[in-house]
Amino acid sequence: MPTEDICQNFNELRSDLVLLYELKLGLSTCEYELQALRHQYEALAPGKTLEIPPSLLSNNDSTVPAEDISVRPKTLSEVIDVVGSAATPMQSSSNSKSGVLLSENVFSRNSVISPEKSIASCHLQHQPVVHQQNPSLNNRPSLVMDLPVQHSEKSISQFKWQQELLMMRNTCQLDETTPVYNLSNHGIMQLFELREAQRLSIASSFMKKIEDFEELSRRCDNEDCLRKKQELQERLVPKTESQTDIEMTIQRLQDEAKLRIQQKEDQIDQKLKEMQTIQEKELQEDLKKKTLELQIVEAKRRNEISSGRLESLLKSLKESMTSCLEKDSFLKSFEMKLNRVTALKTQFQVVASSLNYGDPLSSTVRGENIVKQIEDLVEVIKEDISKNNAIVQAKNAPAQPPPEPTLRSSEVKQEQRSDPHERLQGKPIDANEGHKDVDFVHKEDLTIYSQLQAELQQYEVSAAAFSSDLSLKTLRFELQKAVLHPVNEISDQSGQHLQDKLDRLRNLLQGNAVQISSRTVRANEHPGGYEYCANLLARRLVAQGEDQVNVNPKAAFPIAAIISELWLEFPVFGRLVLAHFYRQCPYIVPYYLPQKEGQSNEDYYKSLGYRYSGGKVEQQPAYLKRMSGVVRLYAAILISVPRRNQPHPHGLEHAWRYLAALLNLPPRNDITATILVEFLTVTGAAMSREYGRQFQKMLHLICTDYFTMIRNVTPKGSGGGPVTRLEEFLHESITKGGIPPPAGQLPPRFW
């Protein structure tokens, strides 16, 4: 029968056993740490071994018999006894390691026994019967304590625990083979088994780390060994060229070979290009020679034609002179024209004999122009002879009344001296009789003037509908900006700047799209739009002579360059520009406009180029200054040099023709001297270089006879500012031996 002493001793024994197992676990942990330290030492000091004293190892304990060391250690569940009762069937199971303690007060609903409660606290009234049971449970002998049931209590308490046990087994909480233990012993057992498993896992992971460290140390040792071996080989074996150096050498040799091949190819290409260039030069030279030969042949042919034409003209003039009545008196009045014919004949002979083999057609053209001038003079002389014959025949006829008295020379001079303002009070002259009188225009010049003015009026009629359409006001405004902006920006700032303005105006005349602000417009976008733009552009370019050139004379040359290039590409536009020049300043024809019959003074002055303001005519100095600007711009066009050696559309031959026509007309007060000064200042150097001695003769004629005529038509006391400037210009030209080039002229390769 269990007593209090037995239960107390049992509990103390159980505590000692638990302590013993804790000490064993602590000892095993120490062994693991010693082994870890040994491995670290061997890893840090290769070749050395750390011996652990046997006294520190648990399996070398001298107090433990040798035969007991080899026996497998028992688990905690195998040490703690199983406690049961007579009514608790305990069946053997080799795999069971857990159980349940069943007693009288375990499943009591009123009081719960703590797992920490000692067995000694249980009240046992009967003496237990201790006997040895079959050692089948957990393969070890078990001490079974049968507690007899009180026969005096056969009520509910006797079967209470049996009913609870049946309920647990019926609900599968326990099976038939589940052993039953004391609850406190079972908790302790699970606690220590879990802790032992954790210690074993920690030890195994630590050993794994030790093995990894050994592997890493082994690798480092191998790499160190290889490095030392390589250093030893480098010290013992002589150093040779590495593979990298060999590859670099091969690459360098390949690059040098490629470079040599490329240089040879470049040399071959260069030689081929040189040969091709030489062949092209030879072909160009051959072509140039052939072209020059053809030009020489053509020049000779045209010179022969011009010579034959000149001979026929002189022959017809001689015949007319032979048929002239009262030849002596006639020759005195027309001696200057005959001398002019003789001078032109001499000039033609000089030009025809000195053929320019570099540019043979240029001298041919000059000869043809001279013949044309001779033809014009011959026609005039023939007409004068016919008039003279008619007058003589009428005088000699008895039935005819006497002729009307003519003005004496003094009266003619007095009339020429009078101011145009005063001549307006006299009888107007009919412009249709221009072919009968050469005092204000030549017949051929009048024909050209009439044709150009008719073309200009036709242009203005074509653009009238476009100009008056209110729905096209926006388009007209954009086209005006497309014209005015580049025209106002023309200057000699740079060749690129001038080229930009030319491109913009060329695109406009070609009908291409032109960008104006944020809009794109075309001149031919609407019927009449192109005529409107072309007429506006021509008028504005000519007006630059009045607005800019009279203030800044150097501005004439970039404007003239633009006009020449556009004239060369658009001949119709060039004629339109010339028509505006003739309208703006008729003295460029040359044409001294007479007052038509029935024409008012204001209309007549406007036809001459005067401006009216508040019903009053413009003052003479301002008028002369504006006309000088227009003449200077026209003269700059005549001497401008087109690019790419193209023929000039209105070149220097027109300057000679204009000057000859002007000198063949009686001068007018102020305006003739002003025109001569500006025209000769701009074109004098180029004409002297082109025509040589012939121009010197013409200049001599201006200095002597024509200047005298200008002085005679200048009223006395008028100041004579233009005449004074002309006299100073002629005197300086004679003193310096020539006329210098004009200031501001563009260089040959400016753009």
Query: What per-residue confidence (pLDDT) applies to 204?
Result: 82
Do 366 and 442 belong to one domain?
A: no
Residue 387 inside a domain? The answer is: yes
Domain co-membership, 413 together with 360? no
Q: Last residue of some domain: 200, 233, 263?
A: 200
Please tell me the total number of residues recorded for the chain in this structure.
751
Does 587 share its domain with 729? yes
Helix (H, G, I), strand (E, B) or coil at 287: helix
Do residues 429 and 372 share a domain?
Answer: no
Domain closes at, from 132, 166, 200: 200
* C-alpha closest to that of 31 among 54, 62, 64: 54
The answer to whether the beta carbons of residues 510 and 499 sit under 8 Å apart is no
CA dihedral 598, 603, 604, 606 (to 10 degrees): -170
Pairing of strands 612-613, 514-516: unpaired
First to last CA, the chain: 139
Strand partners of residue 146: 129
CB count within 10 Å of CB 334 equals 18
Full DSSP string of 116-129: T--GGGS---S--E
Residues of the chain with pLDDT under 50: 60-71, 76-155, 157-158, 179-184, 399-437
- Which tokens belong to 53? 């004293």
Distances from the Cα of 581 to the Cα of 556, 575, 635, 688, angstroms: 14, 10, 11, 25
Given a contact cutoff of 8 angstroms between Cβ atoms, the answer to whether 456 and 583 are in contact is: yes
* Maximum C-alpha span of the chain: 208
Structure-token pair, residue 51: 């011996």
Q: Which residues contact 569 (CB under 8 A, 6 or more apart)?
A: 506, 509
If asked whether residues 386 and 515 sit together in one domain, one would say no
Q: What is the pTM of this model?
A: 0.46
Tokens 């074509």 sit at which residue? 462
CA 710 to chain centroid, in Å, comes to 61
Instruction: In whole angstroms, give the CA distance from residue 393 to residue 397.
Output: 6
Amino acid at 115: P
3-state class of 520 per DSSP?
Answer: strand
pLDDT in tens, 441-490: 998 899 999 999 998 998 888 888 888 888 888 888 999 999 999 999 99
142's tokens: 């078990």
Please report the pLDDT score of residue 19 as a whole number.
87
Residue environment code for 635-672, b if the CB has 16+ CB neighbours within 10 A, otherwise e: bbbbbbbeeeeeebbbbbbbbbbbbbbbbbbbbbbbbb
- 612-613 and 616-617 strand pairing: antiparallel
Q: Give the Cα separation of 699 and 676 in Å (integer).
A: 11
Q: Is 35 contained in some domain?
A: yes
pLDDT at 189: 67
Instruction: Tell me if 501 is assigned to some domain.
Output: yes
Asked if 329 and 188 sit in the same domain, the reply is no
Give the domain-ending residue among 164, 183, 200.
Answer: 200
Residue 160 CA to residue 689 CA, distance in Å, equals 153
Same domain, 460 and 375: no
Query: By residue range, what is the domain housing residue 563?
Result: 409-736
Whether residue 510 lies inside any domain: the answer is: yes
Instruction: Say whether both 302 and 181 belong to one domain.
Output: no
Q: In the prediction, which pLDDT does 638 show?
A: 94
**C-alpha to C-alpha distance for 508 and 608, rounded to whole angstroms:** 32
> What pLDDT was estimated at residue 432?
40
Total tally of structural domains belonging to the chain:
3
Instruction: Please check whether residue 420 lies inside any domain of the structure.
Output: yes
544 and 677 belong to one structural domain: yes
Q: In this structure, are residues 575 and 452 in contact, taking their beta carbons and an 8 Å threshold?
A: yes
Peptide bond into 590 cis (omega under 30): yes
> In whole angstroms, what separates CA 329 from the centre of its chain?
79
User: Residues 6 or more apart from 222 whose CB is under 8 A from it?
Assistant: none
Q: Is 498 exposed, middle or buried (0-12, 13-18, 19+ CB in 10 A)?
A: buried
What's the pLDDT at 499?
92
Q: Is the same domain home to 277 and 361? A: yes
Assigned domain for 751 exists:
no
310 and 436 in a common domain: no
Pairwise CA distance, residues 477 & 515, whole Å: 13
Q: What is the number of alpha carbons within 13 Å of residue 485 lying toward its C-beta? A: 15
DSSP conformation class of 440: S
Query: 549 and 697, same structural domain?
Result: yes
Q: Which H or E run contains 221?
A: helix 183-236
Q: Does residue 122 contact residue 105 with C-beta atoms inside 8 Å?
A: yes
Query: Could you tell me if residue 235 is inside a domain?
Result: no
- CATH at 539: 1.25.40.510
pLDDT at residue number 181: 41
Q: How many CA atoms lie within 13 A of 113 on its CB side?
A: 19
For residue 217, being part of any structural domain is answered with no
Q: Are 557 and 744 in contact (CB under 8 A)?
A: yes
